[in-house]
Structure 1
Amino acid sequence: MKNRKTMIAYGVFIFILLLIAMYWYYSYVTQGPKQEESTAILKAKQTAGLVATDKTWKSVWADTYWVVEGTDAENRKMMVWVPFQSIKDGQDIPQQGTEGVHSELLQNGVSEEQMRTAITSANPDLEIVRLLPGVFNGEYVWQLFYKINNSYYYQFYKFADGSPVGTPFQLPNTLQ
């Protein structure tokens, strides 16, 4: 009986150690992206005058941007694009100074909800996989990743008015 209790105690102890190790590993792996996001939020607050943030996205196409949606001191919704540059070890760091940081009032553009509604009403067969703000060919855009007829595509829409930029990029159909 005593041997069985000892084995159960060891099992519980090992299980707790595994949970702690998994938590440490998760914290270590997510440390870089969380730090990037915090840096982008701070830079958006400093340059665009945000007082609260609602949502953040990391956009990677030709360049890396963190996009922060928030509210300014006058309670107006804003979007702020903060450029990052890649360095050798795969991490991204913010560009120095305020150069490249761009902010827009959300009322001067198309919100995520408006963009989703416009996309699905124009093509009800389309399945939105991901929609996030970013930069494409120097333009501030919504980047749509979608699936239709078992094929995946990227399409960009201008943030200012929701009009398409270029033609869709079809990905190779390797998932079938």
Structure 2
Amino acid sequence: MKNRKTMIAYAVFIFILLLLALYLYYSYVTQGQKQEESDAILKAKQTAGLAATDKTWKSVWTETYWVVEGTDAENRKIMVWVPFQRVEDGADIPQQGTQGVHSELLQNGVSEEQIRTAIISANPDLEIVRLLPGVFNGEYVWQLFYKSNNSYFYQFYKFADGSPVGTPFQLPNTLQ
């Protein structure tokens, strides 16, 4: 009986150690991403008057941007695009100065909910995989990644009015 209790105690101890190791590994792997997000929020607060943060996204197309949604000092909803650059050690850091940082009141553009509703109503057969704000060809956009007819596509929509930018990019079909 005593031997069985000892085995159970060891098993519980090993299980807790395993959980701790997994947590530490996860923290280590995501620390760079969390640092980038913190840097983007700080840059948005310093340069665009962001007072509070609601949501953040990382957008990578031809350039890397962190987009921060929140409120300004007057409690108006605002979106801020913060450009990042790659440095020698492979990390991404915000670009120096205020160059490239762009802020826009949400009321002057299309919100995530509005663009999602418009996309679904225009194309009820597609499955939205991911929708995030970003930059495409110098325009501030919503980047849609979706599945339709067993293929995956990217489509961009202008942040200003929700109109499509160009035609969808179809990814090579690997589902068949």
- State the TM-score, normalizing by the size of structure 2: 0.96
Task: Give, in angstroms, the shift of residue 2 of structure 1.
Answer: 2.3
User: Per the alignment, in what secondary structure is the counterpart of residue 98 of structure 1?
Assistant: coil
Does 2:88 align with 1:75?
A: no
Task: Give, in angstroms, the shift of residue 155 of structure 1.
Answer: 0.4
1:103 paired residue number: 103
User: Per the alignment, in what secondary structure is the counterpart of residue 162 of structure 1?
Assistant: coil
Structure 2: which amino acid aligns with 1:119?
Answer: I
Instruction: Figure out how many residues of one structure are paired with residues of the other and give that number.
Output: 176
Aligned pairs for 1:3-152 (under 5 A) are 3-152=3-152
Once residues 163 and 99 of structure 2 are traced to their aligned partners in structure 1, the CA distance between those partners, rounded to angstroms, is 27
Structure 2: which amino acid aligns with 1:82?
Answer: V
User: Per the alignment, in what secondary structure is the counterpart of residue 125 of structure 2?
Assistant: coil
Task: Give, in angstroms, the shift of residue 54 of structure 1.
Answer: 0.7
Aligned pairs for 1:154-173 (under 5 A) are 154-173=154-173
| RMSD across aligned positions (CA) | 1.1
Once residues 94 and 31 of structure 1 are traced to their aligned partners in structure 2, the CA distance between those partners, rounded to angstroms, is 16
Once residues 175 and 90 of structure 2 are traced to their aligned partners in structure 1, the CA distance between those partners, rounded to angstroms, is 27
Task: Give, in angstroms, the shift of residue 40 of structure 1.
Answer: 0.4
Once residues 145 and 69 of structure 1 are traced to their aligned partners in structure 2, the CA distance between those partners, rounded to angstroms, is 20
Q: C-alpha offsets along residues 108-142 of structure 1, whole Å, 9 cap, x if unaligned?
A: 11111110111111111111111100000111000
Q: C-alpha offsets along residues 72-127 of structure 1, whole Å, 9 cap, x if unaligned?
A: 01111110000011234442111111111000011111111110111111111111
Structure 1 residue runs without a partner (length 5+): none
Once residues 87 and 154 of structure 2 are traced to their aligned partners in structure 1, the CA distance between those partners, rounded to angstroms, is 26
Structure 1: which amino acid aligns with 2:21?
Answer: A
Structure 2 residue runs without a partner (length 5+): none
Once residues 107 and 9 of structure 1 are traced to their aligned partners in structure 2, the CA distance between those partners, rounded to angstroms, is 58
Once residues 87 and 105 of structure 1 are traced to their aligned partners in structure 2, the CA distance between those partners, rounded to angstroms, is 31
Percent of aligned pairs with the same residue?
89
Q: C-alpha offsets along residues 35-56 of structure 1, whole Å, 9 cap, x if unaligned?
A: 1001101110111111111110
Once residues 82 and 72 of structure 1 are traced to their aligned partners in structure 2, the CA distance between those partners, rounded to angstroms, is 16
